[in-house]
Structure 1
Amino acid sequence: MTADQIIDTSYDLMALMTVAEAVARVLEDNPSPGMAGALARLLALMTELNAPLHDALESHEGRNGGAK
């Protein structure tokens, strides 16, 4: 991933986290199997987006800031 792609993906993930938090708060007061399923799909999407971001950062910086 390029630096721009890493930044864009990070912003995308932050936006999705905001949506996930809002859905979770709605579910606290109004349990709904449909909303719970939507939240599960959203979390799965976030995991899919995070995997290449994590790999790119790890390959660039390595663990603890030192590339191996």
Structure 2
Amino acid sequence: MKSAFTEVQKFNQWWLWILLLAVLGLPVYGMFQQIILGEPFGSTPMSDLGLVLFFVGTLLIIGLVWYLELRT
């Protein structure tokens, strides 16, 4: 049986991407402060490798949201 209706929705709301970019700003600022400026980020700083992995993980989550779509 052939379907009469199909729809594809992406997560492209402006407020969602502003929120995701704001979340991405945290590891970017932390890496800048700790790796570039040489000052610890926070009262109990994460290692440099931990900050880089946090940044990569955040990028992967944002990439997943970019890739996801709802098909009906």
TM-score range, shorter chain: 0.5 to 0.7
In structure 2, list runs of 5 or more residues that go unmatched. Answer: 1-8, 36-47
More strand by share: 2
Structure with the greater relative contact order (CA < 8 A, sep ≥ 6): 1 or 2?
2
**Could you say which residue in structure 1 is the equivalent of 2:6?**
none
Could you list the structure 1 runs, at least 4 aligned residues long, displaced by more than 4 angstroms after superposition. none
Q: Count residues with an aligned counterpart.
A: 50
**Could you say which residue in structure 2 is the equivalent of 1:52?**
68
Q: CA RMSD in A?
A: 2.5
| 2:38 is equivalent to residue 22 of structure 1 | no
What is the CA–CA distance in structure 1 between the aligned matches of 2:17 and 2:53, rounded to whole Å? 19
Seen in structure 2, the aligned counterparts of structure 1 residues 29 and 50 have a Cα distance that, compared at 3 Å, is: same
Larger-gyration structure (1/2): 2
After TM superposition, the score normalised by the length of structure 1 is 0.55
Alignment-mate amino acid for residue 47 of structure 1: G
What is the CA–CA distance in structure 2 between the aligned matches of 1:6 and 1:40, rounded to whole Å? 21
Alignment-mate amino acid for residue 17 of structure 1: L
In structure 1, list runs of 5 or more residues that go unmatched. Answer: 57-68
What is the CA–CA distance in structure 1 between the aligned matches of 2:51 and 2:16, rounded to whole Å? 21
Check the 8 A contact 1:13/1:50 in 2, yes or no.
no
